[in-house]
Every structure is written in structure tokens, then in C-alpha cells.
Amino acid sequence: MKVVFERPKSLQATKTHYCPGCGHGVIHRLVAEVMDELGIQDKTIGVAPVGCAVLAYNYFDCDMQQAAHGRAPAVATGIKRALPDRVVFTYQGDGDLAAIGTAEIVHAAARGENITVIFVNNAIYGMTGGQMAPTTLVGQKTETSPYGRDPQIAGYPIRVCEMLATLDGPSFLARAELTDVKNINKTKSYIKKAFEMQLSGKGFSLVEILSPCPTNWGMKPKDAVDWVKNEMVKVFPPGVFKEPKEG
């Protein structure tokens, strides 16, 4: 019998604390599958954020560091500079990466820091109970934008890939959506590409993943997936924003 699917060995057997239908679980699995496929589990060090994925260090079966809120790119920089032949990735939410950690991500990208960033954009602060994130859509209701995000008061969502694409440092920037089988597979192919960039020393790579948070969006899992597809994608167009020229 041929194995069509099994748990990747870079993912621990532990059950996760994520809510039903949460995108984090799928993204963890994709990262672990890529680690397996590239044979890098033994030399990879991951950096967990502050956010719903704070316990990622219990889930990945590789060495892990837990970073202060938003500081994962700086922590990863420290690891990578100390051990340049290891593979280093951060796993960060939108609040972590695009609000409190904006300086750290921009400068890691600008330096072309040879790390890989897995950026989970769920347009909300999941862990703290659904407050407005830097990626919250205009009009989106959250705990702290109860009447819908009003640009007059709270400005506009940040498009991280587009912003970082203005820099010379990044080698690979892509945005994917966790909506259906095809797009989940595409997400994985981006993640793989991002790690390959690091392995070939090309510098900073980031994959932004539009990911459902059914709990704090107040939706059923299926509806949350549809909301990614119908609403988030309009504001955050998926695609590749930067990649090395062929040849």
C-alpha cells in the first residue's frame, strides 16, 4: 500500500490547542511537510511568535525558540548569524508581524536576512480575543472596531507583501490563501520555494497566508473559509510579489 497521506515527521503527534477549522493547524502541517521533503528537520530552528501560535514550539519536531511579541525576525537573525549553516524560520501572526513587530520584519527583509518567514494573516488578533489587527479589513467588525473598521479613525489595512516588495533584500515574497485543496497545495509550494531560497543562500523569503479564524470572526469554519475567498482576497490579492529572475 502506498501512503497517500500521513502525519509529517517534523510535526509532533501532540494535539494542538487551535480552534476547530483554524488555519494555523493546516499551516503547521504544510511547514512540517516541507521540512520533511527538504530533509532539513535536523538542522532547522523555528521561532514561535506571541499570538495563537505561541505554543508552536510544542508542535514542530525541531529545535524552537519562543520570541517576544513581534521580535521573531530579530531572534531569527541572532540564530542565523550565530549558526549560518542552519535553517531558521519564524512563524508569525499579523499583529505580531505587522503591528508591534513592523520594524523587525522590515529590517530583516531589508538586510536580506537569510531566513524564512511564515506569515499568518487572519485579519485579527486571535489570541487576545478578536481585536482589530493591522490587517483588519475596512468595515470589519472586531472587539475594538465594534462598528466596523473606520478608516477615519483606524486607517487602512497593511499589505505586507506589497510593502516588502519595494525592498531589495527579499528574494521571495508570495501570498497564498487557505481556501481549497488547490490553494492549500499552492501555499505549500510557496513555502517550499521560500525554504529553498534560504537553502541556496538567496536571502529573506516570506510567505503570507490568508487564514481563517472562525472563532474571532464569529463564523462557522466553512463560512470563514468562504470569507477568506470572498472578502480577504479582494484586499490581499494572492500571488508572487518577488522572486529571483530565472537563469
Residues that bind Mg ion in the complex, under the rule CB under 5 A: 93-94, 122, 126
The answer to whether the beta carbons of residues 94 and 119 sit under 8 Å apart is yes
The answer to whether the beta carbons of residues 204 and 112 sit under 8 Å apart is yes
Q: Is 55 in the site for ligand SF4 (CB under 6 A)?
A: no
Q: Is 24 in the site for other proteins (CB under 8 A)?
A: yes
Cα distance between the two ends of the chain? 40
| Cα atoms found within 13 Å of the Cα of residue 67, Cβ hemisphere only | 26
Residue 216 interacting partner from ligand SF4, other proteins, Mg ion, none (CB closer than 5 to 8 Å by kind): ligand SF4
Q: Is 217 in the site for ligand TPP (CB under 6 A)?
A: no
Binders in 143-202 for other proteins, by CB under 8 A: 180-181, 184-185
Q: Is 213 in the site for ligand SF4 (CB under 6 A)?
A: yes
Task: Name the segment binding ligand SF4 (CB under 6 A); options: 97-105, 122-130, 190-198, 237-245.
Answer: 122-130
- Of 43, 57, 38, 27, which Cα lies nearest the Cα of 87? 43
Q: Is 215 in the site for ligand SF4 (CB under 6 A)?
A: yes
Dist. CA 124–CA 22, nearest whole Å: 13
DSSP 8-state class, residue 43:
G
H helices of 84-176, in order, are 94-95, 102-110, 151-154, 160-164
Residue 90 interacting partner from ligand TPP, ligand SF4, other proteins, none (CB closer than 5 to 8 Å by kind): none
Residues in the chain: 247
Q: Is 106 in the site for ligand SF4 (CB under 6 A)?
A: no
CB of 202 to ligand SF4, least distance (A): 31
Adjacent-strand bridge partners of 145: 142
Dist. CA 191–CA 62, nearest whole Å: 17
Dist. CA 149–CA 151, nearest whole Å: 6
Adjacent-strand bridge partners of 120: 93, 209
**Grid cell in block for residue 215:** 472563532
The binder of ligand SF4 chosen from 8, 10, 24, 118 (CB under 6 A): 24
Task: Name the segment binding ligand SF4 (CB under 6 A); options: 30-38, 67-75, 121-129, 155-163.
Answer: 121-129
Q: Is 69 in the site for ligand TPP (CB under 6 A)?
A: yes
The binder of other proteins chosen from 34, 44, 119, 145 (CB under 8 A): 44
Which positions touch ligand SF4 (CB under 6 A)? 18-19, 22, 24, 52, 122, 126-127, 213-216
Residues making contact with ligand TPP (CB under 6 A):
50-53, 69, 93-96, 120, 122, 124-128, 133
